Chain A
């Protein structure tokens, strides 16, 4: 009898375990649906060792880097992960559709799209592909190998797009002064913000610490708003993360050619494989580019002994996830090793992630939002934290409501300035909380 009971208990336990495994596998499926490849390499790869920016390219190769996977930690946001791995916000979010940019689930696995197809253009100087929101800097070293450094960028808005064409670097400047363009001053005045004629170097200067001036009136510069890298938020200039522009600045002599192009459809080869990378473009549909892409693929198929997977080509075009995808027909076990996903270990602290100072009794605060749903409050707090310069903010739970509290501010002036910025930039009517 005892035996029967114990067997029964074991059987129930086993059922429970199987049920848990089943649920866990379902959860895994839901998370992994973002990841288009099923083959993995183990074990975990150290985050600091994965190459983000600098690659060597030999003739016949158009694809650099490799895709990686990262398991998110509690409190991570996609802009923070993007900056740590030198990716733009747009790149990381289109590679991971359905993942909340500001409040992703902890333990969720996301793709780090660290593989790129080089644009179809002469590999010389700086090439900026607006569709990919990425800058490529080509350097010849006298051998058959070309070195390329690539960085994510922020570009001009739809109203003030970055102009295409060939330009040259005219001069460079460390700690530049920002001479406020008339249009920007007018726009800000309409919002109640009076800007001075020029902004000296410092945390309020949107050019950051380095500026590369082009022959036109446009610049390649740093930023005091790192979360804007990967957005169309400039007045036509090209923005880079402060750490990236510093390297580009050191690497770029005056007179370097700068070619600005828009190539949403990229076809590339590596180790006998053909890849397709597609970016959604806000510009009018690039019909000529699309036709060129089809012509190139057909030519490759004619010259090759292997057929192309046209169904996959269509899927890649529809999804437009900005990731190079192999488009030869793949038989089981014949996948290109270059596209094997590697899972990187979480670095623990993400570079540049905004820190929120501890609360202090003798400080000023701003009640910025009062939300019923925690996720809404967390999103607002994350957005406030990612302003440039940062406005620290946190979520506090009181009386069944989630309060977004900005601060601490050490004096009334600092608090009132933050209140003004919240109103002008984020249209938030905050309430000032005086020290106790």
Chain B
């Protein structure tokens, strides 16, 4: 009876040891997986940060481009307005000259 109890106990201990060994491997595996996950997470975080930075940079660039486009449009408008003013002034000058000429044709 004692013998069988001892046998059972030993088997149990052995089983526990065996089970304990399996747990260590698993633990190592889990630890490795954990490290891998951490690395991935870190990578993902880094990528996310990079993406965010890129997005921010793109936003800044877009805003900058928009400002430049707006400035260019403004400048073009100003130039067109100046050209129109110059054309109007030239036309006005020509009209004035014509009126003077017409007057000079009187007796």
Q: Which residues of A are interface residues toward B (Cβ below 8 A)?
A: 100-101, 154, 157, 178, 184, 206, 225, 227-228, 231-235, 373, 375-376, 379-380, 383, 386-388, 425-427
Which residues of chain B have C-beta atoms less than 8 A from A234's C-beta? 106-107
| Closest B residue to A180 using CB positions | B107
CB of A373 within 8 A of CB of B104, answer no
Interface segment among B7-15, B28-36, B51-59, B91-99: the answer is B91-99
A231 to B107 CA separation, bound complex (whole angstroms):
13
CB of A376 within 8 A of CB of B93, answer yes
Give the contacting residue for A426; candidates B93, B94, B100, B107; CB below 8 A: B100
Q: Tell me if B3 counts as interface (CB < 8 A to partner A).
A: no
Give the contacting residue for A233; candidates B93, B94, B97, B106; CB below 8 A: B106
Which residues of chain A have C-beta atoms less than 8 A from B90's C-beta? 373, 375-376
| Closest B residue to A379 using CB positions | B97
The A interface is mostly helix, strand or loop, or mixed, namely: mixed
**Given A373-B90, A376-B93, A379-B94, A228 contacting B100 (CB threshold 8 A):** no
Which residues of chain B from 2 to 41 have any CB-CB distance to chain A below 8 Å in the complex? none
**Given A373-B90, A376-B93, A379-B94, A157 contacting B106 (CB threshold 8 A):** yes
A373 to B91 CA separation, bound complex (whole angstroms):
13
Which residues of chain A have C-beta atoms less than 8 A from B104's C-beta? 383, 387, 425-426
CB of B103 within 8 A of CB of A425, answer yes
CB of A380 within 8 A of CB of B105, answer no
Give the contacting residue for A101; candidates B93, B98, B103, B105; CB below 8 A: B98
Which residues of chain A have C-beta atoms less than 8 A from B106's C-beta? 157, 233-235
A77 to B101 CA separation, bound complex (whole angstroms):
14
Q: Which 7 A-B pairs have the closest CB atoms?
A: A228-B105, A425-B104, A233-B105, A206-B107, A383-B101, A233-B106, A225-B105
Which residues of chain B have C-beta atoms less than 8 A from A231's C-beta? 102, 105
Give the contacting residue for A388; candidates B97, B98, B100, B105; CB below 8 A: B105
A184 to B107 CA separation, bound complex (whole angstroms):
7
CB distance from B45 to the nearest CB of A (A): 52
Which residues of chain A have C-beta atoms less than 8 A from B107's C-beta? 178, 184, 206, 234-235
CB distance from B86 to the nearest CB of A (A): 9
CB distance from A194 to the nearest CB of B (A): 14
Which residues of chain A have C-beta atoms less than 8 A from B101's C-beta? 227, 383, 386, 426
A421 to B43 CA separation, bound complex (whole angstroms):
91
Give the contacting residue for A227; candidates B93, B94, B100, B105; CB below 8 A: B105
A232 to B105 CA separation, bound complex (whole angstroms):
9
CB of B97 within 8 A of CB of A383, answer yes
Instruction: List 15 A-B pairs, Cβ < 8 Å.
Output: A231-B105, A232-B102, A233-B103, A233-B106, A234-B106, A375-B90, A376-B93, A379-B94, A380-B97, A383-B97, A383-B100, A383-B104, A425-B103, A425-B104, A426-B104
